[in-house]
Chains A and B, each alone.
Chain A
């Protein structure tokens, strides 16, 4: 296990794979998942690469798999996940898979074509059946109308819009003998337009009766269920017939031959019924066959998918390789962690053995000036903390990683704001449940985003809950109530307060100056419960929490500055130590370090007897900047000898730090740069014997670098960037302003620890008093019932508002304190993540699709 403190040491390696062994080696590396490959031919199009045909074959296989999957899904057959993830297949298995899929697809297609024709026949017959059953009523109605009854006219008017005056009813429906008809079936939603168009184009000379088919019919081509209607159109003459048929064709209506007489129709219907039954048996047999085929492959589907994915991934990686001139070797470059190299070499050996090749693959370490990727080994516990840091910015290579410190400071600062043991316990239990049932919950992959967020952060929630219990005990706050475990240090002294006074006075004042009301020793752990019922509870707690916030906040900032020293030491950057770390440290300690000392001094040295003239730290800090110490009021006066001169000295020191921080670094950098340049000129003169200037050289390398793209085969001075004093100065100027103002504003920003804790405590107190206490005040059975009823709103509101909402807000504030206040002191975050080639990740992605 590597340390979290700095990212892994990375090695840029060159990989020589023998052509036959390449596939097996890469698939071994994919199973291992510790190597990040570099694209050696970024200029090549995807279709110009070496293994494009293999990739294409994989895509073809995937297409067939998708097709089969769709068919399986249509029959609603479950596709179980494989018990274990299959190993990446050998190249020859690929051919096997291909033929299997090919065969299956062909079989499936045949089955489908057969089924479609059968279904089409079935549909035709069913539609005809419906026509025949409905036709009788249509004809009856029509004949009834033709009989010339007046009722039929009104009935007809309901079906069709009123005819134009030229077309009189008698002409439309002449003698029965001349009337012809067509019968058919059309989609139900098309009926209105169909009817209108018929009416318009035939000028009202046709008569349409339609009836809806109640049962939905299956469209044989799409397999969807559609609603249709039966219609019969009555008309006269050949011309109209042609027209009607054309319209029917236009509306994709299916026309059927319908016998004229009722007897014939009945006979036909009976015949059709038997045919439908025959067809039904055939159809169910063919569907059964289809079902059997699908069931037999459903179990393998997921495994096949994974296999194809793996093959494709391997070829994608191989596409990133270069081929040497003899076509025998594939050459690639990769990043891997230094300490994983032996494992990688073992994997390569296994790969070579698997492929039966005699020539071993070679992993060759090489020097490069490129920045290596950042790779922090995490486990399920540290992962969430690392991801909190990474979402701000990925650490530079080997930069100090704030994640290990975050594991402690994050839940701690959170708990300062969320300090309530009751709420902490609830939070802790919830997270504990998630942690305990981890493996079980992990298997049920949920799509619920909110749940996934909570589940992903279960360890941080666990810690936050635990720390909140502690902070709550410190604040002596449990659901806004206090526990008196050890016995309060305060009591009304019987000599000063008689029983009667205690019973009849609402407010008593416990005097801290004489020791009569005080037992002489403080409450041993946390806040004294007596504060819970005191009137000046908030005033006291505010002062306490504010000071606590400043102390913890400034300490964290100090810690951040010290971490920047660690960075400078590691990168051997003495300029940064003397021109940045030192003035920064001095500046911070002269102002805020001193403030902490004063806070501690005030807590220890000032007691109740001196309370009238206790020094005000806020005023004192202001006085320190104004260099003015008025005697009135007495709280602003000097409180130790030589205070004024000492504080002026500190102020002066802090002020000196500003120009130090501002100017020193750019000047030194400029010096160093010009020295290097002179050296370079001399070198060129001596070794090359020709006078080429730095600029010239730089220009050359730059063009050649552009040509090489990302390949960096250059070493030494060519990497040196153009140095501009102006730029360095502006940069430093911004940095200085940011730091100095930042110290002040960040200190103020840490006061949110107090503010949120106050808000949380007050809110939970309000909830208790306004909701639950109402019930507690009642007595007897009413009280019983009231408690029963009011507990629910109190509990729900506690969870919804105090736990979830307040918890979220405290979480975000903590996040901010870490990202801005803490990390700005040392963290650059300009790296990029190590992204190894891993099969498990590729399969995970495909499972999400």
Chain B
């Protein structure tokens, strides 16, 4: 796959995704959206963006959840179209993007059944990009081994699951560990796959996935303070494809509080800035938001180069961010919470 014959197989889709990208809601639109007083205003304004009439068949009054569903539906339609049009290796690459959502869905379903929710009320909450056939049968499993043997062995996630198979019953802490172990294996595998693609895709994706890995490592460390998770266990959850690996990881394992983590991040210029600019005061942005901002910045970079797969990944991520933004604004509008309405993360 090089610049010379990239367009033979992937030119159409690259053009398509660039077209989709230009439909991403702009800062000017956000400014307009923020002035809305009701969700109907929001709907009226979204009509002038690329979303068009996507809400026109919904009876008033609107709910935020409907907006959320419809936005997601639009992304899924676009993604499914690209997936059906693609050939190897792009199709594999696109599948890899969905694995992340599959992991989230699995975890969501396990947690849900643990809390005695029926499967039918959980299914609508799953991300449609990560749905798979056996998903609805997840509730039959009570131990991890069963889960693997019965349900997951047929899914592409099976190899990631090997690490967390045990006869243990499933409980809260377990689930978080499963999620992170799965995610670690997923990221490392995705990273490896991107390396095999070579050229720009590998360059770009390694940067993006490295960031994703580091973000997870830092978040895991911060969230593990005050839980039963031992430091050794913590170390096993860090995805080993980021810039923090290996020195940063060993430092993070030793960390006992937020300040330690911040001290570790001091050594990495891009993360240092994020820590410096974040804070817990209402006026300041949280670390999570700063991470999102950094992610958006990285994703936008994908479109500066041609002939690579990174833009598909970037597009999905940007759309997701846009989804979060619109839902955030919609929530603020619905709850008349005007003061926090500018808490979204502008994209373009």
Contact = CB atoms under 8 A, between A and B. Distances in A.
Interface of A: 45-48, 52, 55-56, 59-60, 62-63, 66-67, 190, 193, 196-197, 200-201, 243, 246-247, 249-252
- Chain B: interface size category: 20 to 34
Given A190-B133, A249-B119, A250-B138, A197 B45 contact: no
A264 to B, nearest CB: 31
Interface in B139-180: 139-141, 146, 149-151, 153-154
Interface of B: 32, 35-37, 40-41, 44-45, 47-48, 56-60, 119, 133-134, 136-141, 146, 149-151, 153-154
Nearest to A245: B140
A243 B133 contact: no
Chain B interface, >50% SS class? helix
A108 to B, nearest CB: 13
B137 A47 contact: no
B57 A56 contact: no
Nearest to B42: A47
Contacts of A62: 56
Chain A interface, >50% SS class? helix
Contacts of B32: 45
Nearest to B37: A47
A184 to B, nearest CB: 14
Given A56-B44, A59-B56, A190-B133, A200 B139 contact: no
A251 B137 CA distance: 7
Contacts of A247: 137, 140
22 contacts: A45-B32, A46-B47, A47-B41, A55-B44, A56-B40, A60-B60, A63-B56, A63-B58, A66-B57, A67-B57, A193-B154, A196-B154, A197-B137, A200-B149, A201-B149, A249-B119, A249-B139, A250-B119, A250-B138, A250-B139, A251-B136, A252-B136
Nearest to B113: A246
Contacts of A66: 56-57
A46 B48 contact: yes
Contact of B137 (A46, A48, A52, A250): A250
B133 A193 contact: yes
A63 to B, nearest CB: 6
A201 B146 contact: yes
A247 B151 CA distance: 10
Q: Which 4 A-B pairs have the closest CB atoms?
A: A250-B137, A201-B150, A47-B41, A250-B136
B36 A47 contact: yes
A60 B60 CA distance: 8
Contacts of A48: 35
A218 to B, nearest CB: 21
A647 B37 CA distance: 80
A200 B140 contact: no
Contacts of A52: 44
B134 A197 contact: yes
A172 to B, nearest CB: 18
A246 B140 contact: yes
Contacts of B41: 47
Nearest to A64: B59
A200 B37 CA distance: 55
Contacts of B138: 250
Nearest to B147: A201
A46 B32 CA distance: 9
A252 B137 CA distance: 9
Given A48-B35, A56-B44, A193 B134 contact: yes
B36 to A, nearest CB: 6
Contacts of A60: 59-60
Contact of B45 (A46, A201, A243): A46
Contacts of A63: 56-59
A52 B40 CA distance: 10
A70 to B, nearest CB: 9
A197 B140 CA distance: 10
Contacts of A197: 134, 137, 150-151
A246 B57 contact: no
A479 B160 CA distance: 76
A370 B137 CA distance: 69
Contacts of B133: 190, 193
Nearest to B58: A63
A197 B153 CA distance: 10
A3 B164 CA distance: 84
B60 to A, nearest CB: 7
A48 B38 CA distance: 11
A486 B247 CA distance: 103
Contacts of A45: 32, 35, 45
A131 to B, nearest CB: 22
Contacts of B47: 46
A110 to B, nearest CB: 15
A250 B140 contact: yes
B318 to A, nearest CB: 24
A468 to B, nearest CB: 41
Contacts of A59: 56
Contacts of B37: 47
B131 to A, nearest CB: 13
Contacts of B40: 47, 56
A446 B15 CA distance: 31
B134 A200 contact: no
Contacts of B36: 47
A249 B136 CA distance: 8
Contact of A47 (B44, B119, B140): B44
Given A47-B41, A247-B137, 18 more contacts: A45-B35, A46-B44, A46-B45, A46-B47, A46-B48, A62-B56, A66-B56, A67-B57, A193-B134, A196-B154, A200-B149, A200-B153, A201-B146, A201-B151, A247-B140, A250-B138, A251-B136, A252-B136
A190 B138 CA distance: 15
B167 to A, nearest CB: 15
A201 B57 CA distance: 43
Query: Among the interface residues B45, B58, B134, B153, which one has the most CB atoms of the partner chain A within 10 A?
Result: B134
Contacts of B146: 201
A247 B139 CA distance: 8
A486 B41 CA distance: 81
Contacts of B58: 63
A251 B47 CA distance: 38
A346 to B, nearest CB: 35
Nearest to B153: A200
Contacts of A246: 137, 139-140
Contacts of A200: 149-150, 153
A249 B119 CA distance: 8
Contacts of B56: 59, 62-63, 66
A45 B136 CA distance: 45
A124 B37 CA distance: 47
Contact of A243 (B35, B119, B140, B154): B140
A67 B57 CA distance: 8
A809 B321 CA distance: 51
Contacts of B48: 46
Contacts of A47: 36-37, 40-41, 44-45
Nearest to B151: A197
Contacts of B119: 249-250
Contacts of B136: 249-252
A693 B201 CA distance: 59
A67 B59 CA distance: 11
A62 B59 CA distance: 11
A56 B44 CA distance: 8
Nearest to B31: A45
A521 B215 CA distance: 98
Nearest to B150: A201
Contacts of A201: 140-141, 146, 149-151
A246 to B, nearest CB: 4
A52 B137 CA distance: 48
Contacts of A250: 119, 134, 136-140
Query: Among the interface residues B119, B140, B151, which one has the most CB atoms of the partner chain A within 10 A?
Result: B140
A251 B59 CA distance: 32
Nearest to B44: A47
